[in-house]
Structure 1
Amino acid sequence: MTLRACRHRRAGTAAALILLSLLLSACEQPDMANQPRLDTYQSDSGFADGMAARPIPEGTVHRDQALNERPTHNPAPINRGTLHRGRQQFEIFCAPCHGRNGSGQGVIVQRGFPAPPSYHLPRLRQASDAHFYDVITHGYGVMYPYASRIRPADRWAIVTYIRALQLSRNARIDDVPEALRPRLREAPP
């Protein structure tokens, strides 16, 4: 064996021994395995109230708590801004299947995809706002969920816009304020 090979072998052995000793020295050290701790109801002078148990931080949720709790009614304000945002989001995410007027005849349907129900059906006109919100969130039938794609506030804006579509299709002259009715009569047919 050459001198160079012998030195190389000794250096490798020394490095392996150093590594092994470092690894073994970290195992079961009293300070690592048995660190000082405080039990829940133990007193401690480190805190102003003298207790080891700390209050639960605001915003903490229990592991079994539902994270997406939603109101039972639409919390979005019904105004021009909400309708505008709802229309934008509807045209991006909903109109390809449901159509721009909510009739269920979107461009995807024209290319052979199954048609969703029209928003103007009596059962959907009577459905709650929470129903539409849940369908947008969790999907329904062949519709996949949009929870990861549409923010909750935008889902409620879409629900508001769907209600506007339903109202526009089924509006009666009695639904229009008395002061605005003459303007409707002046409009061309």
Structure 2
Amino acid sequence: MLLHKILRYKAGSILLLLLLSSSMLVACAGNMREQPHIVPYEESDFFPDKLSARQPPAHTIARGQLDDDPILYGPMGTPTPSQGSASASQDVYPFAITKEVLERGQERFNIYCSPCHGRAGDGNGMIVKRGYKHPPSFYEQRLINAPASHFFDVITNGFGSMPDYKAQVAPQDRWAIIAYIRALQLSHNATIQDVPADKRGELEK
């Protein structure tokens, strides 16, 4: 008799446990994904204009797109004649120019700039060999004297027959390219005396 009661008690406990487990599985149903929703570009009866895609409020800024750094995102262009010109030593960059930045600038330069300007920056790119207009050399004095903001403006907005590259080249990469252009300009007429003393031996080998 006692054994029978024990078995009935265990069976009831197991049944109760199964019922509780089953009730928890209700939350795993996929009903949430089956709720009413709007397919992109589908007409909506909720809004008077029937458009499901809503126009963002005026002055809405996407996350990460504040672009509030005046140097990184929007330098003021080249100086006016009354301001004179700027040399590479007077350039202002939004971040420190490191070896990694120069290597990134070289990579982006070779991809986007060298087809026209040549890998050496002398304007003898592949397009010239195909009969297109010869772009200026970065070693022209006016471009050596031009401030870094001039190059940023040209990359961003284009100049003459050069189209803009703002869609292809991010602001950070534009500055990296400019830093690499400055390195090309500095190396063009450099002498062994311009190389740090501890590095000269590597060049003289």
Distance 2:186 2:109 in 1: 16
Query: Quick check: 1:84 aligned with 2:89?
Result: no
Q: 1:69 to 1:183 in 2, by over 3 A?
A: closer
Measured against aligned partners, the alpha-carbon deviations of 1:37-58 in whole angstroms (never above 9, x if no partner) come to xxxxxxxxxxxxxxxxxxxxx9
How many Å apart are 1:59 and its aligned residue? 9.1
How many Å apart are 1:138 and its aligned residue? 0.7
Whether the aligned pair in 1 keeps the contact of 2:139 and 2:185 (CA below 8 Å) is: yes
Distance 2:144 2:74 in 1: 24
Instruction: Letter of the 1:70 partner, please give it.
Output: P
The match for 1:18 is none
Misfit runs of 4+, over 6 Å? 58-61
The CA RMSD over aligned residues, in Å, is: 2.8
Measured against aligned partners, the alpha-carbon deviations of 1:13-41 in whole angstroms (never above 9, x if no partner) come to xxxxxxxxxxxxxx9xxxxxxxxxxxxxx
Query: Quick check: 1:150 aligned with 2:155?
Result: no
Query: Quick check: 1:93 aligned with 2:98?
Result: no
Taking structure 2 as the reference length, the TM-score comes to: 0.55
How many Å apart are 1:96 and its aligned residue? 0.2
Instruction: Letter of the 1:114 partner, please give it.
Output: K
How many Å apart are 1:173 and its aligned residue? 2.3
The match for 1:181 is 200
Distance 1:128 1:109 in 2: 26
How many Å apart are 1:182 and its aligned residue? 3.9
1:102-117 matched pairs, under 5 angstroms:
102-117=121-136
1:8-87 matched pairs, under 5 angstroms:
68-70=73-75, 73-87=92-106
Measured against aligned partners, the alpha-carbon deviations of 1:71-91 in whole angstroms (never above 9, x if no partner) come to 772223211110111111111
Q: 1:59 to 1:149 in 2, by over 3 A?
A: closer
Whether the aligned pair in 2 keeps the contact of 1:74 and 1:130 (CA below 8 Å) is: no
The SS at the match of 2:142 is helix
The match for 1:9 is none
How many Å apart are 1:60 and its aligned residue? 10
Whether the aligned pair in 2 keeps the contact of 1:103 and 1:117 (CA below 8 Å) is: yes
1:165 to 164, 180, 184: 184
Instruction: Structure 1 unaligned segments of length 5 or more: list them.
Output: 1-26, 28-57, 62-67
The SS at the match of 1:118 is coil
Instruction: Letter of the 2:74 partner, please give it.
Output: E
Instruction: Letter of the 2:108 partner, please give it.
Output: Q
Whether the aligned pair in 1 keeps the contact of 2:97 and 2:179 (CA below 8 Å) is: yes
Whether the aligned pair in 2 keeps the contact of 1:135 and 1:145 (CA below 8 Å) is: yes
The match for 2:138 is 119
